[in-house]
Amino acid sequence: MNDRSLNPQEELGVLIKATQSILHQRMDEALRPLGLSVPQYACLQALHDTPGITGSELARRAFVSRQAMNVLLQGLERRGLVERSDDPGPRRERATSLSTTAAALVGQARGEVAAVVSTMTSDLTGRDLTRLLALLATCRDSLLEV
């Protein structure tokens, strides 16, 4: 996309959004055979990487509302992928952990997502990728400071 009627800042915003949308679509296609959506994968990955994480933080990492995360967790619990305590903890949140089945699934899903990201970055050199990561982190951090 190279619409010359946009200034560089506008063009960057459009390009980031378009890239995010296509990345999400490709991740969804890769995860679907595993029976996972992108938010479910993000949730399972966060639980794997950060045991004891709160539901609020899970929601932030999966880019969904707390209410949507609760529904998502209920579905994962029904499938036997997460286990939730019966007793509410701090702020009335129930502790959630991965089941052993989910731990293996997360490993498989990570491989699928890594393949999608590898395709996305295949035309970048290692130096380009390092620079892109730094630039995007700077953009993100600037928005967090607002």
- The residue ranges of every structural domain in the chain are 8-144
Question: Does the 8-144 domain belong in CATH 1.10.10.10?
Answer: yes
The percentage of residues in the chain with a pLDDT greater than 70, rounded to a whole number, is 91
Using alpha carbons, list the distances in angstroms from residue 62 to 8, 65, 70, 85.
Answer: 29, 9, 12, 21
pLDDT range class, residue 85, cuts 50, 70, 90: confident
Tens-digit pLDDT profile for residues 99-108: 999 989 999 9
- Please report, as a single letter, which amino acid is at residue 54: T
Query: Does the pLDDT at position 90 exceed 80?
Result: no
User: Beta-carbon neighbour count of residue 144 at 10 Å?
Assistant: 7
Query: Does the pLDDT at position 3 exceed 90?
Result: no
CB 39 within 8 A of CB 72: yes
Give the C-alpha separation, 22 to 7, whole Å.
22
- Residue whose tokens read 């509410």: 88
